[in-house]
Copies of this chain bind each other. A is one copy, B any other.
Amino acid sequence: MTRRRLFKGRSRKAGLPPGTLVHTGELRTGGSSISCISYSESGFNESRPLSFEQCPSPGDGVLWIHLDGLHDLDLIRRFGERYGLHPLVLEDIVNTSQRPKLEDYGDYIFIVTRRISLNGEKSVDGEQVSLILGPGYILSFREGFDGDIFESIRERIRNGRGRIRTMGADYLSYAIIDAIVDDYFTVLENLEGLVEDLEEQLADGPTQDVLRKIISLKREIIFMRKGVWPLREVTSALERGESQLIAEASRVFFRDIYDHTIQVIDGVETFRDLLSGMLDLYLSSMSNRTNEVMKFLTVVGTIFLPLTFIVGVYGMNFKYIPELQMQYGYLYCWILMLSISLGMGVYFKRKKWL
């Protein structure tokens, strides 16, 4: 079982002055990789430079520099110097246990989001994706470095599909956040399948395994909540569009993400309710089942204890037991025992224990 650390490596930071860059994510060995794309209505230019120095500078169109992997602190520091980022911003980019937030620094907006993905259909993985939205450029920083999560956006830029090439950096930031929110829907759709499977298993009977799955799903939901609730505030702030970096025309798109975030929250809360209901059902079924087992034992015990007593009576060795001498004693004894059993049966039938 891999553990998800809530407070990964925070103590590595204790006692350091603010603005000190310490990457608190898992210490992976893979390197960082940069990808740049600059575009305008007329065309686009894409490159994957090996060093920061090879990155293009913001020009007339929109420049998007994306970094996968946050281990090269030196690289991030140089980004900070080049774009005049506040030391606390750099600290938050590499300290990947931030909760989603938006900070307006005047000449750029700093946005932290948390992207989620399914880890093998069962547990939910989260990674931090930070954005710097400046005039004419977007810098994006992603904690992980496997796969290319924004390929579909790049594809749209290349094809000129949709309106993306005709709009500014704010629209690009919208497209990126939209892709992140869409991943929540994918995860929710998968979780829904898991919940439905659980319901069917639970209908078969309450096993310890079902219980463990309910509890573990509940925990995944808790982690999703943690990521998505603050996202609502972020998108709401973008929708209000108080910054000059966000064009009036883009606000309707941010409202769209805001709506999606609310839908995700709605879904997460609904799952919570469903899982609570399943836990109730589990506990009640279990108590039902214990009751059933008890009734069975009681019925069997109540029928055989008196009978065993009776046969014990006639197994006694008293010198004089009249019944033993009767010719049909044995038969009478059976008749007695059968009628006792029958009486009990009728009694239990009436009590609905049988």
Instruction: Report A's interface with B, CB cutoff 8 A.
Output: 3, 5-7, 10-11, 13-20, 86, 88, 92, 97-99, 101, 103, 105, 152, 156, 161-164, 174-175, 178-179, 182-183, 185-186, 188-189, 192, 196, 205-206, 208, 211-212, 215, 218-219, 222-223, 226, 252-253, 255-256, 259, 262-263, 266-267, 270, 273-274, 277, 279-291, 293-298, 300-302, 304-309, 311-327, 329-330, 333, 352-353
Contacts and interface: CB of A to CB of B under 8 A. Distances in A.
B288 A286 contact: yes
A112 to B, nearest CB: 9
A310 to B, nearest CB: 8
Contacts of A274: 219, 222
A17 B314 contact: no
Given A285-B208, A297-B298, A192 B318 contact: no
A286 to B, nearest CB: 5
A304 B223 CA distance: 51
A92 B255 CA distance: 12
B324 A319 contact: yes
A71 to B, nearest CB: 21
* Number of identical protomers: 5
A222 to B, nearest CB: 5
A17 B172 CA distance: 11
A18 B259 contact: no
Nearest to A221: B273
A311 B318 CA distance: 10
Contacts of A296: 298, 302
Contacts of A282: 284
A319 B332 CA distance: 13
B211 A285 contact: yes
A259 B133 CA distance: 20
B291 A316 contact: no
A281 B283 CA distance: 10
A318 B330 contact: yes
A184 to B, nearest CB: 10
B289 A10 contact: no
